[in-house]
Amino acid sequence: RSSIPMLARVDETNGDWIVYVGTRDAPSTDATGGLDVFKFPSPKTIGGGISRVDENSRKTYSGALSTPLDLTYEPNTGYVWMVTGSSLLYWTDDQDSLRYPLSTNGLTGSGFTSIDVDSRGNLWVGTSTQGAYRLTPRETNPDTLSVLHFTTRQGLLSDKVQDVAVDSKLG
């Protein structure tokens, strides 16, 4: 049984909560997927509970050919990045659907398992059989990513990476 990823953050401009939830159209990871985005006032301003969140606070964005497996938020660009088993996608507030990056030369195969972002805006993507990738958005076009691949040849203990996490203080 697979789980659906969820990510939450506080909007620094007004204190609202924003919750991102990966979705799927059927009970299979092969099902098409999307992203639900909930925006609502801080629970302390609405009586202390999130059960009172208005249904109109949710917006749904589609476009993933399969179910999102993991999400991360990149605060410098405002992008929400996600991986499915076979693809990398992103979304920003000004989009009406999920998008695939224009260029990811060097990101091969499939079997993506996880994603996280470091303090420099690099994305780290784990795979089920091919190690990990570091994806760096180009400053001139964040839709174009430079790719660096890490496997056991570069020092990983295994080419099977179930999850990636970045230490926010040490990088």
pLDDT digits (tens, 9 = 90+) for 20-57: 999 988 777 678 899 999 998 887 777 766 666 667 78
With a CB cutoff of 8 Å and minimum separation 6, the contacts of 21 are 4, 5, 6, 35, 36, 37, 38
CB 98 within 8 A of CB 117: no
pLDDT digits (tens, 9 = 90+) for 70-121: 999 999 889 999 999 999 999 998 889 999 999 998 887 679 999 999 999 9
